[in-house]
């Protein structure tokens, strides 16, 4: 079997007047993620990891922030298109391991809903999607509440 590993990273500024979308769900908070799309940092990191593992470039190549048709798009649509592209190259996902870095709000209670949302879009079993959350102990742009970041590692294989 042809196994491949990919790693993705994304970061977005947090600001008032935006909604906070993480892992395909909206999280109530006074700030939201600034982005050309809905700014879902976790989905963007997962897309980059999947595309990288399959050697299909990156999310900005496939979904550029210069494309007006993508303005405000639901990142779940980008993930769905990424999965279709991956599967069109005969790849399937073994598992995803991801980490969201955010000082506030605490998102641990939302992780099961994120897993459910992502598994539905990706057509994967819940057990294939690991999501963890951490803070940066009040250090850096995440710690001061200026931004959010996410990391994702994926294992894919040729079918």
Numbered residues of the known binding site for a divalent metal cation: 10, 12, 44
Q: Is residue 128 within 8 Å of 95, Cβ to Cβ?
A: yes
Place of tokens 């399959």: 54
- 126 vs 115: CA distance, rounded Å: 6
Residues making up the binding site: 10-12, 36-37, 44, 58-60, 63-67, 134-137, 141
- 91 vs 54: CA distance, rounded Å: 8
131: part of which helix (H) or strand (E)? strand 129-134
């Amino acid at each position: 079997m042809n196994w491949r590993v990919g790693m993705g990273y994304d970061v977005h500024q947090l600001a008032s007047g935006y909604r906070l979308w993480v892992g395909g769900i909206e999280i109530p908070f006074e700030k939201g993620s600034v982005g050309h799309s809905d700014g879902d940092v976790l989905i963007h990191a997962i897309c980059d990891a999947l595309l990288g593992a399959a050697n299909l470039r990156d999310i900005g190549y496939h979904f550029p922030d210069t494309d007006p048709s993508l303005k405000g798009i639901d990142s779940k649509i980008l993930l769905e298109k990424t999965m279709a592209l991956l599967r069109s190259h005969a790849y399937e996902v073994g598992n995803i391991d991801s980490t969201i870095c955010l000082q506030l709000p605490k998102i641990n209670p939302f992780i099961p809903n994120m897993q459910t949302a992502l598994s539905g879009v990706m057509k994967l079993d819940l057990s294939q999607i690991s999501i963890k959350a951490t803070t940066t102990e009040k250090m850096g742009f995440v710690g001061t509440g200026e931004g959010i970041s996410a990391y994702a590692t994926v294992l894919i294989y040729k079918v």
